[in-house]
């Protein structure tokens, strides 16, 4: 543990949703939800306004719509987010050569290695300067945590949200952590938390009081000893520059073993959606889909399938994961399910055959809209050429009209597309509706959030 709080953790505030609000003046201060808008889509990010209704990341989109029916629901623009992330990471690189990105909107920085901080005062000054620079360059806010370890710096940034800075002075760790839930410690998920609760351990202070031997008995040597060290505030993990992720995965442990095959399949599909959200958030795609199944007797099986090229398409990953499930005997029950993607790349080669199959299986005339004034009834007729054209007008995506200039799609349906014409620095714009094949309307690159800033191709 360092004697000075020179490890910085930056976490951008509701990043995807905040970027959408900044680029769309009519959505500022309103609930915005970004994610997959299909029937099996999940929330990638919810604005703070949407979170007041109970919407949160990884929630099924259908549940989010029930909680916040009047929110704006947008599909992600990952190219746009990557461009903003690049600006933020460049600012972090000016502070230190040791920057460890965790995703597009989150990173650790070793301020001591950059020579910009060696005590609390200089660390705080560097953190405040960073927050000002991010706002000036991107128009967005980020929360900063400063501490002597990575674990505590991340906890501090959570405390700082939204748009704040929290510094944890070395020596105060146990006082800070003691009353907190065990879930605040990295690696303590729902299953471990429940296991500890049954043993009467619910706070970090309880972990310390239980002692290392008892934790080892409960959780095993590696997990128990590591948990005890972190509860004492000890975390020796260094900041590693150019962190190279090998895979992205998510998994869930169930309180009661799953026996119903349909329920198991639905859980695998949901995990696949969450995995893709995390994959995209890290700015990657991948070639190999991995399914993990831990059965009732604690035996663990893994199955994998390697695609022809890297993908970040949720349909492709979901279908591959369910194919792998067909190869696994779940008789007797399932305790844990996981879906992962490995063989990561920073580009995507679309699986056109899988994509075409998905589109042909989609419900004819399905409509997705952003905002109540853009909802349209879709016909229950077979898909026509016009309806096929509508699919390219995704809610939230950028367009440009030959007469009205730049805008974004609010919704489409019944051969029409509704566009709100506004720019990041403008007042809320007017809404107009066009035929989906209007020759004067075309897809466009996003405009920069700050005048003079770098744009991005979505």
pLDDT in tens, 41-57: 889 899 999 999 999 98
Long-range contacts of 85-89 (CB under 8 A, 24+ apart): 85/283, 86/454, 87/137, 87/138, 87/453, 87/454, 88/10, 88/12, 88/134, 88/137, 88/138, 88/142
CA angle 221, 227, 232 (to 5 degrees): 130
CA nearest to 143, candidates 237, 8, 282, 278: 8
Give one DSSP letter per residue of 158-183, joined into a string.
Answer: HHH-SS-EEE--TT-HHHHHTTSBGG
Cα(71)–Cα(54) distance, rounded to whole angstroms? 12
Q: Is 139 left (phi over 0), alpha (psi -120 to 50) or beta?
A: left
Crossing angle between the packed helical segments 212-219 and 190-198, to the nearest 10 degrees? 120
- pLDDT attached to residue 344: 81
Predicted confidence band at 451 (pLDDT cuts at 50, 70, 90)? low
What domains appear along the chain, each with residue ranges and CATH number?
A: 1-171 (3.30.70.270), 175-231 (1.10.150.20), 247-355 (3.30.1490.100), 362-443 (no CATH)
> Which residues, in sequence order, are CB contacts of 36 under 8 Å at separation 6+?
42, 44, 61, 75, 273, 277, 314
Catalytic positions:
106
Cα(350)–Cα(330) distance, rounded to whole angstroms? 31
Give me the percent of the chain exceeding a pLDDT of 70. Answer: 87
Cα(439)–Cα(456) distance, rounded to whole angstroms? 24
- Tell me the mean pLDDT in the region 115-134: 96
Cα(373)–Cα(313) distance, rounded to whole angstroms? 29
pLDDT in tens, 7-26: 999 999 999 999 999 999 99
- pLDDT attached to residue 240: 87
Predicted confidence band at 401 (pLDDT cuts at 50, 70, 90)? very high
Distances in Å between the alpha carbon of 168 and those of 159, 175, 186, 400?
10, 11, 17, 48
Q: Where are the beta strands (DSSP E) in 48-200?
A: 72-74, 99-103, 106-110, 142-147, 165-167
Strand order across the beta sheet in which 416-421 lies: 430-435, 416-421, 405-413, 398-401, 441-443
**Do β-strands 165-167 and 142-147 pair in parallel, antiparallel, or remain unpaired?**
parallel
Cα(47)–Cα(10) distance, rounded to whole angstroms? 18
Cα(369)–Cα(419) distance, rounded to whole angstroms? 11
Cα(344)–Cα(243) distance, rounded to whole angstroms? 13
Which of 159-163, 260-264, 449-453 is the least confident region?
A: 449-453
Q: What is the dihedral angle through the alpha carbons of 110, 111, 113, 119, rounded to the nearest 10 degrees?
A: -120
Cα(311)–Cα(360) distance, rounded to whole angstroms? 19
CA angle 447, 454, 392 (to 5 degrees): 40
Residue 149 clears pLDDT 70, i.e. is over it: yes
Burial of residue 350, with CB atoms counted within 10 A of its CB: 0-12 exposed, 13-18 middle, 19 or more buried: middle
- pLDDT attached to residue 446: 93
Residue 417 clears pLDDT 90, i.e. is over it: yes
- pLDDT attached to residue 245: 62
Under DSSP, the state recorded for 434 is E
pLDDT in tens, 421-449: 999 989 999 999 999 999 999 999 999 88
- pLDDT attached to residue 174: 87
- pLDDT attached to residue 58: 82
Q: What is the dihedral angle through the alpha carbons of 125, 454, 15, 159, rounded to the nearest 10 degrees?
A: 0
Give me the percent of the chain exceeding a pLDDT of 90. Answer: 61
Mean pLDDT, all residues of the chain: 85
Let me know: does 104 contact 281? Beta carbons within 8 Å: yes
Strand order across the beta sheet in which 99-103 lies: 99-103, 106-110, 7-12, 142-147, 165-167
Residue 62 clears pLDDT 70, i.e. is over it: yes
pLDDT in tens, 176-219: 899 999 999 887 878 888 989 999 999 999 999 999 999 999 98
CA nearest to 88, candidates 125, 145, 143: 143
Compare 64 and 103 and report the one with higher pLDDT: 64
- Tell me the mean pLDDT in the region 216-234: 89
Q: How far is CA 163 from the centre of its chain?
A: 18
Predicted confidence band at 366 (pLDDT cuts at 50, 70, 90)? very low
**Do β-strands 300-311 and 285-295 pair in parallel, antiparallel, or remain unpaired?**
antiparallel
Which of 27-36, 66-75, 302-311, 358-367 is the least confident region?
A: 358-367
Which of 60-74, 79-93, 122-136, 385-399 is the least confident region?
A: 385-399
CA nearest to 17, candidates 71, 70, 61, 53: 71
- pLDDT attached to residue 243: 55
CA nearest to 45, candidates 23, 69, 78, 70: 78
pTM of the model: 0.72
Predicted confidence band at 361 (pLDDT cuts at 50, 70, 90)? very low
Cα(193)–Cα(320) distance, rounded to whole angstroms? 31
- pLDDT attached to residue 38: 76
Residue 345 clears pLDDT 90, i.e. is over it: no
Q: Where are the beta strands (DSSP E) in 80-204?
A: 99-103, 106-110, 142-147, 165-167
- pLDDT attached to residue 244: 57
- pLDDT attached to residue 283: 75
Residue 211 token pair = 């002692």
Cα(232)–Cα(198) distance, rounded to whole angstroms? 22
Compare 211 and 457 and report the one with higher pLDDT: 211
């Amino acid at each position: 543990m360092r004697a000075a709080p020179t490890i910085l953790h930056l976490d951008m505030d509701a990043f995807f949703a905040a970027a959408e609000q900044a680029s769309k003046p009519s959505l500022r201060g309103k609930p915005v939800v970004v994610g997959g808008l299909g029937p099996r889509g999940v929330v990638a990010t919810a604005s703070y306004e949407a979170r007041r209704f109970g919407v949160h990341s990884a929630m099924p989109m259908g549940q989010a719509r029930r909680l916040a029916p009047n929110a704006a629901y947008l599909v992600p623009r990952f190219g746009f987010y990557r461009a903003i992330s690049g600006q933020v990471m460049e600012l972090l690189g000016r502070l230190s050569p040791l920057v460890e990105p965790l995703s597009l909107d989150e990173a650790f920085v070793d301020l001591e290695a950059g020579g910009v901080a060696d005590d609390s005062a200089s660390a705080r000054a560097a953190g405040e300067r960073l927050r000002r620079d991010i706002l000036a360059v991107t128009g967005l806010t980020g929360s900063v945590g400063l501490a002597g370890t990575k674990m505590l710096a991340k906890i501090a940034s959570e405390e700082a949200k939204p748009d704040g800075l929290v510094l944890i002075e070395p020596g105060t760790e146990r006082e800070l952590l003691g009353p907190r839930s065990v879930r605040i410690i990295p690696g303590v998920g729902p299953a471990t938390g429940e296991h500890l609760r049954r043993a009467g351990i619910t706070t970090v202070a309880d972990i310390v009081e239980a002692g290392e031997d008892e934790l080892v008995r409960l959780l095993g040597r590696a997990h128990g000893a590591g948990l005890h060290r972190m509860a004492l505030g000890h975390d020796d993990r260094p900041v590693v520059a150019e962190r190279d992720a090998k895979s992205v995965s998510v998994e869930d442990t169930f309180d009661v073993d799953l026996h119903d095959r349909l329920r198991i399949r639905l859980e695998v599909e949901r995990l696949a959606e969450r995995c893709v959200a995390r994959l995209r958030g890290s700015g990657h795609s991948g070639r190999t889909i991995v399914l993990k199944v831990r059965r009732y007797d604690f035996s663990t099986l893994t199955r994998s399938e390697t695609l022809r090229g890297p993908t970040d398409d949720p349909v492709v990953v979901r279908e591959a994961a369910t194919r792998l499930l067909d190869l696994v005997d779940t008789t007797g029950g399932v305790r844990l399910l996981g879906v992962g993607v490995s063989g990561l790349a920073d580009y995507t080669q679309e699986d056109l055959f899988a994509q075409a199959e998905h589109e042909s299986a989609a419900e004819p005339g399905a409509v997705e809209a952003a905002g109540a004034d853009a909802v349209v009834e879709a016909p229950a007729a077979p898909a026509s050429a016009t309806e096929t054209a509508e699919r390219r007008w995704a809610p939230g995506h950028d367009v440009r009209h030959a007469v009205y200039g730049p805008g974004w799609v609010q919704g489409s349906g019944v051969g029409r597309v509704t566009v709100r014409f506004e720019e990041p620095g403008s007042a809320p714009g007017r809404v107009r509706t066009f035929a989906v094949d209007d020759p004067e309307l075309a897809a466009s690159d996003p405009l920069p959030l700050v005048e003079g800033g770098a744009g991005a191709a979505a």
